[in-house]
Amino acid sequence: MTRTRPEPAGPVTLKQVADHAGVSISTASNALTGSRSVSPASVQRVLQSAAALGYRRNEVARTLRTGLRNTVGVIVPDVTNPFWGGMIRTIERQAALAGFHVALTNTEFDATRETSALAGLVSRVDGIVLFSTRPTAATLQPLLDMGIPIVACDEVIDVPGLGGVYSDNVDGARTAAHHLVDSGGTVFGMLEGPEALSTASARRQGFREGLRDAGVPESAVHSVKAEYSFEGGREGIRRLLAAHPDVDAVFASTDNQAIGAMLEVLNAGRAVPDDLLVCGFDDISWSARLSPPLTTVRQDAEGMATAAIGMLLEMVTTGAAPRTEVFPVSLVTRESTQRTLAPSPVTIT
Amino acid sequence: MTRTRPEPAGPVTLKQVADHAGVSISTASNALTGSRSVSPASVQRVLQSAAALGYRRNEVARTLRTGLRNTVGVIVPDVTNPFWGGMIRTIERQAALAGFHVALTNTEFDATRETSALAGLVSRVDGIVLFSTRPTAATLQPLLDMGIPIVACDEVIDVPGLGGVYSDNVDGARTAAHHLVDSGGTVFGMLEGPEALSTASARRQGFREGLRDAGVPESAVHSVKAEYSFEGGREGIRRLLAAHPDVDAVFASTDNQAIGAMLEVLNAGRAVPDDLLVCGFDDISWSARLSPPLTTVRQDAEGMATAAIGMLLEMVTTGAAPRTEVFPVSLVTRESTQRTLAPSPVTIT
DNA sequence: TTGAAAGCGCTAACAT
DNA sequence: ATGTTAGCGCTTTCAA
């Protein structure tokens, strides 16, 4: 004797509203959607009936008929990362303003989940904002063929037909390199991200270039691979310093990494910035709240998110062609790279 | 001359698959869903045709027919808060495992957005997990009437028919009070949350009770209202200390508040914990990463999220009755409340 | 084991 | 200005 849900009392349909108002179903439909002219009297009656019966349009039926799903898919690797969290917030806000819902998938950096999410979103969404790891062209093509626009954000996806909104990662990393040199670094370390990520390789490339431009010899640059996470940073800096204890300036590919690294170093009794300069990338809100506050390359997350959802909605509603936008980044200088020039004399406050 | 999207080349329908396989549309349907027996030969042919044509089932049409939407709605106040972010991650993972999608709405603590989100989710989702501010019974009732199960999580929503998953907030706050007393606090301050939130009033009540039990006089307890955010904490502690400079122990209703308060105090040149003991509530990951690390009341966010989505899916799929589950919380003692008993003598490392 | 056909609730021709 | 009706793509009776 399984308990079943309360009395079905099925949802009110448009037909019921029409009957109640004493008009035809199409007049009822038009009164509610306003797609063709209806006499004020009818509109009035239909609206009243709808309210009286508690009518709610069945969006699924509407979608089946019109093909408009009024939903955008958002695929991210990790909602808990404030960098992506903030972008989701922006996207959700803009989407809601335009009357769109957001279907969220968290891939946890798992390509399998990403692929199946993409597949599942077909026929459910009008378009997709993809913060991706590395989808294959084969995964994306079916969606594009079905006319579902996709905008890649943050990670470059090199598939024709996609919109793209990216940061100028190479430039940011180059700036970071110059800054570390200017701040007194002599032996450099980098926490690189996973091989496959475009941001990781761009930041590595920019950092290397920046150091080379500044005349730093290859022999004074060391790097290790690390995950884009707090734990990745902790564990990465351990490996880096174990192999190269003379490193005195480190550039991490993300703030999460940088923060993990900085706290690990502080715990081990070394001083930041006096023993080790630390610079991150992203400028998540927590970076300014640590002691010492973290110098980092700021990405315009809100601007990028706004651009991505804006471009997508444009593609969805007006059939606009995909574009690629690259956002400038900027160095935010804080104490983690402000070395006190000379060992300060004993001071009494 | 507006460019329009690439050739429609409409999606492959079941009928096309059936024709290609030389079977009827119903056989094709059954071959793909397995809802009635089909000869192996037919199954084989249908599967091949589907693969050859790149068939993807239209979920919208299926939903219209079956009433199964395979989607759960999740409504949160703020995705960027790691407390909710983590719960979203858990919910999304469990939902995906069960073949459900997640429709996310971020209300930014705006009751209007919450109401319209709720309205928009009818006919799109099978059930809703609600991390809410304060929806009225009138907002929720229509959904319940339509047989859409709702599980409230975190904030208590006192509407009959809802499932509920909550922390034992009163107990947690009481424990925090005892701990602050035991740690040497003598004049107490509390950063309370917004009036309307059930967690805020429960934590205030528990804190007051705890202090009373410990024999602290009312005159040694002061409180201010503050938003549940980093900025709320900063600004709250300023007001608190301006009015009551003798406060030497503070309990914040959330970690975000506590962290904002602690950094504000440190910036102002006061020491934590030696001048001021600080205790938070939640145990977000950043709390352990600050210096000093933050003592806090830990909520089992992952357990709660798992329970909430589990209960919802059960209600959706088996029509199970709603329940209320209360999760225990636990004090996590860290340095922000570990006062060095005597001023330490000068030490040289 | 299979096919034909009804119909989920809605919108958009096509009639008046 | 309004009514009638076809049909979106699918699942599921009902017949064979």
Q: Beta carbon of A289 within 7 Å of strand C?
A: no
How confident is the model over A274-298, as a mean pLDDT? 95
Percent of chain B with pLDDT over 70: 95
Q: Using a 7 A cutoff on CB, list residues near strand D.
A: A 22-27, 30, 36-39, 41-42, 61, 64-65; B 10-11, 13-15, 25-26, 29-30, 32-33, 35-36, 55, 57-58, 61-62, 64-66
Assign A301 to helix, strand or coil: helix
Nearest to B76 by CA among B182, B167, B154: B154
User: In angstroms, how far is D4 C1' from A24 CA?
Assistant: 9
**Residues of chain B neighbouring A147 (CB-CB closer than 8 A):** 5-6, 8-9
- Cβ atoms of A203 and A169 within 8 Å: the answer is yes
pLDDT band at B8 (very low <50, low <70, confident <90, very high): very low
Residue B9 has pLDDT above 70, yes or no: no
**Which nucleotide C1' is nearest B40 CA?**
C1
Average pLDDT over residues B194-207: 95
Q: Residue A34 and residue A38: Cα distance in Å, rounded?
A: 8
Whole-number Å distance between alpha carbons of A35 and A38: 9
Read off the pLDDT band of B6 (50, 70, 90).
Answer: very low
* Confidence band for A9, pLDDT divided at 50, 70 and 90: low
Q: Which amino acid residue lies closest to nucleotide C11, measuring CA to C1'?
A: A65
C-alpha–C-alpha distance, residues B19 and B39, integer Å: 17
State whether B291 and A289 contact (CB < 8 Å).
Answer: no
What gap in Å lies between CA A264 and CA A247, rounded to an integer? 15
Do residues B150 and B143 touch, judged by C-beta distance below 8 A? yes
In angstroms, how far is D2 C1' from B124 CA? 31
Per-residue pLDDT at A137: 83
User: Smallest Cα–Cα separation from A166: which of A134, A202, A138?
Assistant: A202
Residue B341: per-residue pLDDT? 61
Length of chain B: 349
pLDDT category of residue A281 using cuts at 50, 70 and 90: very high
* Gap between the Cα atoms of A333 and A179, Å rounded: 9
What was the pLDDT predicted at A11? 87
> Any atom of strand C under 7 A from CB of B26?
yes
Q: What is the pLDDT of residue B342?
A: 47
* B-chain residues near A113 (CB < 8 A): 96
3-state secondary structure chain B: CCCCCCCCCCCCCHHHHHHHHCCCHHHHHHHHHCCCCCCHHHHHHHHHHHHHHCCCCCHHHHHHHHCCCCEEEEEECCCCCHHHHHHHHHHHHHHHHCCCEEEEEECCCCHHHHHHHHHHHCCCCCEEEECCCCCCHHHHHHHHHCCCCEEEECCCCCCCCCEEEEECHHHHHHHHHHHHHHCCCCCEEEEECCCCCHHHHHHHHHHHHHHHHCCCCHHHEEEEECCCCHHHHHHHHHHHHHHCCCCCEEEECCHHHHHHHHHHHHHCCCCCCCCCEEEEEECCHHHHHCCCCCEEEECCHHHHHHHHHHHHHHHHHHCCCCCEEEECCEEECCHHHCCCCCCCCCCCC
Degrees to nearest 5, angle at CA B150 with B145 and B156? 120
Protein-proximal nucleotides of chain C (any atom < 7 Å from a CB): 1-5, 7-13
Residue B267 C-beta-side C-alpha neighbours within 13 Å: 15
- Best probe of the B interface among A3, A71, A80, by most B CBs < 10 A, is A80
Inter-chain CB proximity A103 and B101 less than 8 Å:
yes
Q: Collect all residues of chain B within an 8 Å Cβ-Cβ radius of residue A98.
A: none
| Residues A224, A239 contacting (CB under 8 angstroms) | yes
B68/B197 Cα distance (integer angstroms): 34
pLDDT band at A92 (very low <50, low <70, confident <90, very high): very high
> Strand B295-298 relative to strand B277-282: parallel, antiparallel, unpaired?
parallel
Q: How far apart are the first and last CA of chain B?
A: 76
Assess contact for B161 and B145: CB atoms under 8 A: no
**How many Cβ atoms are within 10 Å of A112's Cβ, its own excluded?**
8
Evaluate the omega torsion of the peptide bond into residue B8 and state whether it is cis, within 30 degrees of 0.
no
Instruction: Return the residue matching tokens 């606009």.
Output: A320
The mean pLDDT of chain B is 92
The Cα–Cα gap between A45 and A37 comes to: 15
Identify whether the C-beta of residue A244 lies closer than 8 Å to the C-beta of residue A222: yes
Rounded to whole angstroms, the maximal C-alpha distance in chain A is 91
State which H helix or E strand residue A102 sits in.
strand A101-106
Handedness of CA B9, B12, B15, B18 (dihedral sign): positive
- The pLDDT > 70 percentage for chain A reads 95
Enter the tokens of residue A274.
Answer: 């006096």
Q: State both tokens at A305.
A: 């998110």
Average of per-residue pLDDT values in chain A: 92
d(CA A91, CA A308): 8
CA–CA gap between residue B80 and residue B260 (Å, rounded): 16
Instruction: Answer for B87: CB within 7 Å of strand C.
Output: no
Partners of residue B3 in chain A, C-beta under 8 Å: 319-321
Q: Supply the pLDDT for residue B149.
A: 96
Q: Parallel, antiparallel, or unpaired: how do β-strands A188-192 and A221-225 relate?
A: parallel
Residue B14 scores a pLDDT above 80? yes
- pLDDT tens per residue, range A193-227: 998 899 999 999 999 999 999 999 999 999 999 99
Say how many C-beta atoms besides its own lie within 10 A of residue A326's C-beta: 15
Confidence band of B106 (pLDDT split at 50, 70, 90): very high
Phi and psi, residue B24, nearest 5°: -80, 165
Find the CB nearest A85 among B4, B9, B80: B80
Using a 10 angstrom Cβ sphere, with 0-12 exposed, 13-18 middle and 19 or more buried, the burial of residue B66 is exposed
Q: Closest Cα of chain B to A323: distance in Å?
A: 13
CA-based nearest residue to A202, from A264, A254, A135: A254
List CB contacts of B279: < 8 A, sequence separation 6 or more: B176, B179, B180, B249, B250, B251, B252, B258, B294, B295, B296, B297, B336, B337
Give the pLDDT confidence of B149-186 residue by residue, as tens digits: 999 999 999 899 999 999 999 999 999 999 999 999 99
Tell me the nt nearest to B36, Cα to C1'.
C1
At A134 the pLDDT is 78
Least confident of A115-119, B83-87, B134-138, B320-324: B134-138
Q: The tokens of B116 are what? A: 């319209």
A33: pLDDT strictly greater than 80: yes
What pLDDT score was predicted for residue B27?
A: 96
| Neighbour tally for A145: CB within 10 Å | 14
Protein-contacted positions of strand D (CB under 7 Å) = 1-5, 7-13
Q: Chain A partners of B117 at a C-beta cutoff of 8 Å?
A: 96
> Could you tell me which of B210, B166, B104 has the C-alpha nearest to residue B308?
B166
In angstroms, the CA of B154 and the C1' of C9 are apart by 36
**Rounded Cα distance, A287 and A183, in Å:** 19
pLDDT at residue A239 is higher than 70: yes
Alpha-carbon span A3 to A243, nearest angstrom = 64
Location of structure tokens 């340095």: B335
Q: Could you tell me which chain B residue has the CA closest to the CA of A11?
A: B146
Instruction: Give, in order, the Cα–Cα distances in Å from A7 to each of A87, A349, B160, B319.
Output: 41, 74, 16, 12
Output the distance from B311 CA to C16 C1' rounded to whole Å.
54
Q: How confident is the model at residue B325, as a pLDDT?
A: 98
Instruction: Quickly state the pLDDT bin for A341 (edges 50, 70, 90).
Output: low
Flag if B92 and A79 touch (Cβ within 8 Å). Answer: yes
Cβ-nearest to A104 among B102, B145, B259? B102
Cβ <8 Å between A71 and B103? yes
Enclosing H/E stretch for A170: helix A169-182
**Which is more confident, A80 or A2?**
A80
CB atoms < 10 A from the CB of A222, how many? 17
CB-to-strand C under 7 Å, chain A 120-139: none
Q: How many CB atoms lie within 10 A of CB A211?
A: 26
B38 touches strand C (CB under 7 A): yes
